[in-house]
Each structure stands twice: as structure tokens, then as C-alpha cells.
Amino acid sequence: MTKHITSFLLILSLNPLITKAQQNVAIKDQLYREEIFARLLAQDTNYCSFNWNTTSQSWEYPYKYINSFDANGTLSGRTQLVRDLTTSSWQNDFYTIYSYDVLLNKTEEKIQSWNTSLTMWVDRVKINYSYDIYNNCVEKLEQNQYLPGGGPFTNYSRETYVYNSTNQRIESLYQLWDISLNSWKDDSKTNFTYDLNGNETESLTSKWNQSISAWENDLKVTSFYAVNNKKTQTVVYVWDSAGSWTSSYKTGYLYDASGNEIETIWQIWSAANTWINSSKLQVLYDMNGKPVEYLNFIWDDPGNFWQNYAWYFYSSDGDCFSTLATSINTMENKTKTTGIFPNPACSSFQLKNMEGTVEIYTVAGKLVLSEPNATEETAIDVSGLSKGIYFVKVKSGNMVFSSKLIVE
């Protein structure tokens, strides 16, 4: 997934409104998205991914993931393959091996890369997990291997966790290995706060300042929940040079009637003291409620539209390209032109270059209006809605378009 992180960092660095601190927060949020993808990939045998090429306006850079399972049905290995466009064949890229204890706690995760000259898998990263008597993970140890042909693992990072009497994680300590001193040195620590329902409401991260031997504020994440304990919003703050918390990043979550998360939108706090779109993730489910597609978009600020970024989908036969041809052809052509207008809307709005069933949700995920069989000529009446922010979802065939709507 390093390629995706690098591309995301490049996109952020080109935006003059984004500070370095905000870039760091955005990278952490991108890592969170990679965790979402990892959970998706763990569900079935074959998944594929593509990245959007903004120059050719097409899906490229395909990856394929093939999972293997042990006798307990637990994920035991994952092969990541990359498409060689010159030979039109799949080539080995990374292989991950998972190990578990008798209680099925994951004890080791070993990542190997394919050495084309040696035609063999070579160890690169090893992560070991330790647990207490309550099966809480108390340590995560990462070791790396840097030699081209393989060799011994060396310490890189260690994360230890502390839990309260109800087995809630209340603190994590992240340390890096100091080769010169041959010991661990503190890097950061995070403390967690929960509400009465067990929902994590705040995490406070501090960085270790070696020069003064003290912890200093770094990041604060505040989360909000609906009455059904579904997370509705997360706001990230950074500790600025003036010694106060400054808004940096915001995440909003939208769910369907079954409680499935269907959309996540990330926004950043700009120098103009306003929230501006950054990226969004849409999740599509099959009739059994299983996520089968993840669509990742980034916001094109000058063009004022959502631009394709990455696409992950389930492929039962492992043939990424047949699914690509049948599922995404219309989205390729309409990414820049689909939308709703006017927005903000006073009394009604219409669809642009699309048609289907229109659903309008509150920010808490409550369905407040539905218009079946809407076309570009349909004026969708919102005069009965209270002023505020809503989410519009348009279902057209097996594709879903989502957008924020402001009612004035």
C-alpha cells in the first residue's frame, strides 16, 4: 500500500492551503483508509484494485490480492500481485504470512517481497503480537530486514498498550529502536477516553521532546456518535506554536437503514478558516450486506468535482478486468460531469448527467426524502426540509453517486 500513501502525500503537497501539520494528519487518515481496505481484503479469496490515472482518465495500476485460509477458516496468507502491462501478466509483489495462537489471537505477521533476480520470496517486515490473560494485545513489535537477498530481522518500532478494568485500551506507547544506543526510545503516546456506552470519544497524542525530556501535545481526535452508537463525525486537532488546539481534519460518516457504513467524507481546515473537501470513500454492498466495492475519490478544488482515486472490488473468479469492464465504464465517462444543482438549494434541485432513485439523509444518517425514478428533468422538492447540511445518494443500476447538499 506504500504506493497509495506516496500518491496521497503528493496530492496534498500540491495544495497551497494545506500546512505540513495537516499533511501529517491526512497521512494518518489515509492509513486509516488502508485499514478499511485490509478488512475488506480479509473477507474473501480474490480482490482487485485500480488507481485512477488523471492524465488518461482511465483506471490503471492494477493489483490483485489472493487470500488463503487454514483449517479453522482463519486467514493464513495473502499474495499481492501487480499487473505487468508489457507482458499482460500478473507478477508477484508481496506475500504476507499470518500465525495465531490456540485462541486464534494473531501472533505474527510476516511480509515478504518478491525478488525477481533470485525468483524467490524474501523477508522484509515481521510484526509480533503479545497478549495478556484477557486476550488484550499488550505489545506490537515490528522488525525489518534490509538486505536485498534476505537476512536477520532488526528492531524498528514497538507499541505497548495499557487497559482498564473493563479491558478498554486507555494508553498506547510508541517507541523507536535507537541503533546507536541499542535500546528503545520514546516517540509518542496516546491516551483514550470513552463514554458510558464504551465508545471512544477522545484520543490525545503527545510527542516526546528529547531536548527537554518531556511530553508535548501533538494531536487530539474527538469523535461523536448517534443514539445507536454509530460514529457520525471525527474531528482532528493539532497543537500549534501558540500553544492551543487548532482544527485540522474532519471525517463524516453516513450509514444506510441497515447500519452499514456507505460513505466516509474527509475535509481539511483551510487557511481561510473553512472546511474544504479532501477525499471520500463509498462502500457498496451486495444483497447479503457484504461490502463488495470500495470507491475512493479526491476532491478537485479548482474543478469543484470528485475525482476518481482508487477502486477496490471483489472478484469471484480473480479476473479483475472483466469486472472493470462491466461495472465501471459509465463512471469513467461521468466522473467530471455528474452532480446536483443548484447547491446550495432553496426549494428544489436537479440531477446532472444521471438518473435513478434519489435518497436524502441527515448528517446523522436518517432518511428524510426519497424520489424514485428521478431524471435530469425532475425537480426534487426540498422546501419541506429544515435548513442545514444533508447527504444525497443517487442509485443508478449497480452504481451509487453521493454528494453533500446544503439547504438554505
Using one digit for the tens of pLDDT, what is the confidence trace for 178-215? Answer: 999 999 999 999 999 999 999 999 999 999 999 999 99
Examine the pLDDT at 389 and tell me if it is beyond 50. yes
Spatial separation of the C-alpha atoms in residues 157 and 177, rounded to whole Å: 6
Architecture of domain 337-408: Sandwich (2.60)
Q: What angle do CA 195, 200, 206 make, to 5 degrees?
A: 120
Q: Are 103 and 359 within 8 A, CB to CB?
A: no
Q: What is d(CA 312, CA 297) in angstroms, rounded to the nearest whole number?
A: 12
> Across all residues in the chain, what is the average pLDDT?
82
Does the structure show a pLDDT above 50 at 13?
Answer: no
For residues 126 and 311, the model is more confident at 126
The predicted pLDDT at position 333 comes to: 42
Percentage of residues in the chain with pLDDT exceeding 70? 81
At 188 the pLDDT is: 94
- The reported pLDDT for the residue numbered 408 is 84
Q: Which of these ranges, 14-28, 76-90, 355-369, 390-404, has the smallest mean pLDDT?
A: 14-28
| Grid coordinates given for 11 | 496530492
Per-residue pLDDT band for 29 (boundaries 50, 70, 90) equals low
Residue that the C-alpha cell 496468507 belongs to: 77
d(CA 129, CA 114): 25
Give the pLDDT of residue 334.
37
108: which residues sit within 8 A by CB, 6+ positions away? 97, 98, 99, 126, 127, 128, 129
Which pLDDT does position 11 carry in this prediction? 40
C-alpha cell at 401: 453517486
Tell me how crowded residue 225 is: count the other CB atoms within 10 A of its CB.
17
pLDDT value at residue 292: 78
pLDDT value for 239: 92
Query: Where residue 318 falls among pLDDT bands split at 50, 70, 90?
Result: low
| pLDDT bucket at 101, cuts 50 / 70 / 90 | very high
Q: Are 93 and 63 in contact (CB under 8 A)?
A: yes
The one-letter amino acid code at 380 reads I
The residues spanned by each domain of the chain are 1-68+195-201+223-331, 337-408
Question: Which of 143, 185, 140, 187 has the alpha carbon at shortest distance from 159?
Answer: 140
Does residue 378 surpass a pLDDT of 60? yes
CB count in 10 Å sphere of residue 300: 14
pLDDT at 22: 53
The highest-confidence range among 72-81, 299-308, 322-331, by mean pLDDT, is 72-81
Which residue has better confidence, 322 or 96? 96
Q: How confident is the model at residue 134 (pLDDT cuts 50, 70, 90)?
A: very high
Of 335, 337, 343, nearest in space to 360 by CA: 343
Q: Measured between alpha carbons, how far is 251 from 232 in angstroms, rounded to an integer?
A: 8
pLDDT at 53 over 70: yes
**pLDDT tens digits for 250-302?**
889 888 878 888 888 888 888 778 888 888 888 887 777 777 788 888 887 76
CA angle at 248 for the pair 242 and 249, rounded to the nearest 5°: 165
pLDDT at 286: 75
Yes or no: say if 58 and 252 are a contact pair by the CB < 8 Å rule. Answer: no
Confidence of residue 2 (pLDDT cuts 50, 70, 90): very low
Give the range with max mean pLDDT: 10-19, 43-52, 70-79. Answer: 70-79
Say what the pTM is.
0.72
Tell me the mean pLDDT in the region 124-151.
92
H, E, C per residue of the chain: CHHHHHHHHHHHHCCCCCCHHHHHHHHHHHHHHHHHHHHHHCCCCEEEEEEEECCCCEEEEEEEEEEEECCCCCEEEEEEEEEECCCCEEEEEEEEEEEECCCCCEEEEEEEEEECCCCEEEEEEEEEEEECCCCCEEEEEEEECCCCCCCCCEEEEEEEEEECCCCCEEEEEEEEEECCCCEEEEEEEEEEEECCCCCEEEEEEEEEECCCCEEEEEEEEEEEECCCCCEEEEEEEEECCCCCEEEEEEEEEEECCCCCEEEEEEEEECCCCCEEEEEEEEEEECCCCCEEEEEEEEEECCCCEEEEEEEEEECCCCCHHHHHHHHCHHHHHHCCCCEEECCCECCEEEEECCCEEEEEEECCCCEEEEEEEECCCCCEECCCCCCEEEEEEEEECCEEEEEEEEEC
Adjacent-strand bridge partners of 267: 250, 277
**Terminus-to-terminus CA distance in the chain, angstroms?**
41
Assigned architecture for domain 1-68+195-201+223-331: Beta Barrel (2.40)
In this prediction, residue 397 has a pLDDT band, given cuts at 50, 70 and 90, of: low
Task: Give the C-alpha separation, 348 to 346, whole Å.
Answer: 6
Rounded Cα–Cα distance for residues 328 and 51 (Å): 13
pLDDT at 284: 80
What confidence score (pLDDT) does residue 323 get?
Answer: 58
Q: Is the pLDDT of residue 387 over 80?
A: yes
